[in-house]
Amino acid sequence: MSLSISDKAILINAIRDIPDFPKPGIIFKDITTLLSDGEAFGVLMQHLRDRYATYDLTHVAGIDARGFIFGAALAQMLGVGFVPIRKKGKLPYTTVSEKYSLEYGVDEVEIHIDAFSGVEKPRVLLIDDLIATGGTAYAAANLINKVGAECIEACFVMGLDFLSGQSKLRDLVEVYTVIGVD
């Protein structure tokens, strides 16, 4: 299921470009303008609901922090649970963690060890706002699988197509991006 040309234009026009943020030469894709635009946010969420309605999901997992916005809203629309995947040290109960490489160092994400307990054969959609190099998403998908669930697909509002993140992540899980950015 793909977006119509007019719906795609609504989404693209609702995302603000911020030049030279967080450093010179970077054009930051600001989704706060999409979130504050009721029509654009509605188009996006309806598209995601329609896409995932037949996936037989038990949960949506969102990556800290913008993935929480889309993930929690989508989970409610689908009538399934929401699970946060957070940066290290932010979850209050026993966690499982996964490290990943950054441009200059290493970071880590965590999930509660019992995030999918009580569900036989959990089927999980991973969601975030953007995929660039794919390190965080790869670690998050690994975490879902580590705690006994199956990561069915990883979904992103935007994909930076000129970077290798999507192809790297496809080694682990199917990837869907609503909008590709060249």
Tokens of 18: 């911020």
Residues annotated as catalytic (active site), given as ranges: 66, 103
What is the distance between the alpha carbons of residues 22 and 32, in angstroms, rounded to a whole number?
16
Q: What count of other Cβ atoms lies within 10 Å of the Cβ of residue 56?
A: 10
Identify residue 86 by its one-letter amino acid code. Answer: R
């993935």: which residue's tokens? 67
